[in-house]
Amino acid sequence: MHCPRLALGLGFCLLVGMALCSLCNMKLQYKGEKPFQPVTPSQYPQPKLLKQKPTEFLTLTPWLAPIVSEGTFEPELLRHIYQPLNLTVGVTVFAVGKYTQFVQRFLESAEQFFMQGFRVHYYVFTNDPTAVPRVRLGSGRLVSTIPILRHSRWEEISTRRMQSISQHIAERAHREVDYLFCLNVDMVFRNPWGPETLGDLVAAVHPGYFAVPRQQFPYERRPLSTAFVADGEGDFYYGGAVFGGRVAEVYEFTRGCHMGILADKANGIMAAWQEESHLNRRFISHKPSKVLSPEYLWDDRKPQPPSLKLIRFSTLDKDTDWLRS
């Protein structure tokens, strides 16, 4: 008889396929982490315990995560600590449709300011690899284009980022990088962005809401959504344009956000600020181990307050309506 044999054959092939795939995954070589490395002492001034430097920002969250801003760290000392670890830092950017036009300026400014002296791997997710310009890169730095689908609605493209990133980590990035930053492409680096930003799980404060009480944060306020945040909850409003950390943590984080987005989809709801809402929900229950001040995520349309000494990464003025059409 054909049919049982066919079914049997199909089932057998499927099982073999499964087994092979599992075997492939078992061989994941994950870039491990290092224990404390001895630091060769470098010349740097002694920390002054009694004279608090006039940084106007809070420097520690209530759960003792550092808040990084100019004046809170010694770049030389950090370089001494991190250089011997031979780390590779990954960056994901999404350049879909008309957003490919931002890649050039992004990469050029990154080459000037981002993680100088480190090995860097840029992952450019795009529907059109031919539209990604070739940019001159320093030694130890490379670009890979990752093909993705283009969706008709920009919200759809935005919410799929979490899924794409977690999938990419599982398939590739866990083998290639130690830390991963997920950044928006329509931005430029204007000042150094270095190892002071490295941490297990890193978030950045949104430039529009750092001086505002939590009730005014644009959290998702409908209880039906998995991104729902109640009135009395919330630490800071974090920007969706910058987050990162150790690859394993970013995997867990993006996967968690993606699950929330899927659940919302099944319930026919889309969060107020798409993945940024889900990111903010998750950062309440999985608090970041390091927070970047608005120096690391600025909006050039805003006037620069005196508390902000240095802008390191900021938006490019653009016509969002046209871009999203």
Partner 1 sequence: MDPREFCRKSAKVSLCSILLCAVLLGFYSQLTHRVVLRQMQLEKKESSEGDCHLDTCRIPEVPRLLYPKAQLLKPTRVDVLVMTPWFAPIIWDGTFDSAILDAQFRNITIGLTVFAIKKYVVFLKLFLETAEKHFMVGHKVNYYVFTDQPAAVPQIPLQEGRQVVVLEVRNYKRWQDISMHRMEMISNFSQRRFLREVHYLVCLDVDMKFSDHVGVEILAPLFGTLHPGFYAGDRQSFTYERRPLSQAYIPRDEGDFYYAGGFFGGSVPEVYRLTVACHQAMMADQANGIEAVWHDESHLNRYLLHHKPSKVLSPEYLWDEQMLQRPPLLRKLRYVAVPKNHAEIRNR
Q: Is 261 in the site for partner 1 (CB under 8 A)?
A: no
Catalytic residue among 220, 249, 276, 295: 276
The DSSP secondary structure of 4-52, one letter per residue, reads HHHHHHHHHHHHHHHHHHHHHHHT--------PPPPPP---PPP-SSS-
DSSP state of 170: I
* Residue among 90 and 126 whose Cβ is closer to partner 1: 90
- 99 labelled ligand-binding: yes
Q: Which two tokens stand for residue 5?
A: 């044999």
The verdict on 7 binding partner 1 (CB under 8 A) reads yes
Please calculate the CA angle 102-103-109 and round it to the nearest 5 degrees: 95
Minimum distance of partner 1 from residue 318's CB (angstroms): 27
Q: In terms of CB distance, is 107 or 201 closer to partner 1?
A: 201
Please enumerate in sequence order all residues whose Cβ is within 8 A of that of 295, keeping only pairs 6 or more positions apart, or say none: 68, 69, 70, 191, 308, 309, 310, 311, 312, 313
Q: Does 252 appear as a known binding residue?
A: no
The number of angstroms, rounded, from the C-alpha of 209 to the middle of its chain's C-alpha atoms is 19
Cβ proximity of 161 and 180 under 8 Å: no
Q: How far is the CB of 52 from partner 1 (least distance, A)?
A: 5
Q: Is 257 in the site for partner 1 (CB under 8 A)?
A: no
275 is catalytic: no
Beta bridge partners, 179, equal 89, 246
Residues 201-220 that bind partner 1 (CB under 8 A): 201, 205, 210-211, 213-214
**Of 232, 233, 287, 220, nearest in space to 260 by CA:** 220
Q: How far is the CB of 181 from partner 1 (least distance, A)?
A: 16
Measured in degrees and rounded to the nearest 5, phi and psi for residue 202 equal: -120, 130
**Candidates 87-95, 113-121, 242-250, 309-317; binding stretch for partner 1 (CB under 8 A):** 242-250
**Least distance (Å) between residue 44 CB and partner 1:** 7
Tokens of 295: 């120096």
Task: Check residue 266 for interaction with partner 1 (CB under 8 A).
Answer: no
Closest CB to partner 1 among residues 185, 297: 297
Question: In this complex, which beta carbon is closest to partner 1, that of residue 37 or of residue 86?
Answer: 37
Residue 98 is a binding residue for partner 1 (CB under 8 A): no
Q: Could you give the angle at the alpha carbon of 225 between the alpha carbons of 280 and 247, nearest 5°?
A: 40
Minimal CA–CA distance to 254: which of 226, 218, 278, 221? 278
Instruction: Please report whether residue 200 would count as binding partner 1 according to CB under 8 A.
Output: yes
Nearer to partner 1, 248 or 272 (CB): 248
- Of 300-319, binders to partner 1 (CB under 8 A) are 307
Residues 6 or more apart whose CB falls under 8 angstroms from that of 38 comprise none
Binding status of residue 20 toward partner 1 by CB under 8 A: no
For 255, phi then psi, to 5°, come to -65, -40
- The residue behind tokens 């759960």 is 63
Comparing CB distances to partner 1, the nearer of 40 and 325 is 40
Considering the rule CB under 8 A, would residue 51 count as an interface residue with partner 1?
yes
Query: Among 89-97, 103-111, 144-152, 248-256, which window interacts with partner 1 (CB under 8 A)?
Result: 248-256
Provide, for the chain, the percentages of residues in helix, strand and coil under a 3-state DSSP scheme, each rounded to the nearest 5. 40, 20, 45
Smallest distance from partner 1 to CB 135, Å: 31
d(CA 304, CA 267): 41
Question: Smallest gap, in angstroms, from Cβ of residue 65 to partner 1?
Answer: 8
Binding residues for UDP-N-acetyl-alpha-D-galactosamine: 94-96, 99
Binding residues: 94-96, 99, 186, 206, 276, 299
Catalytic annotation, residues: 276
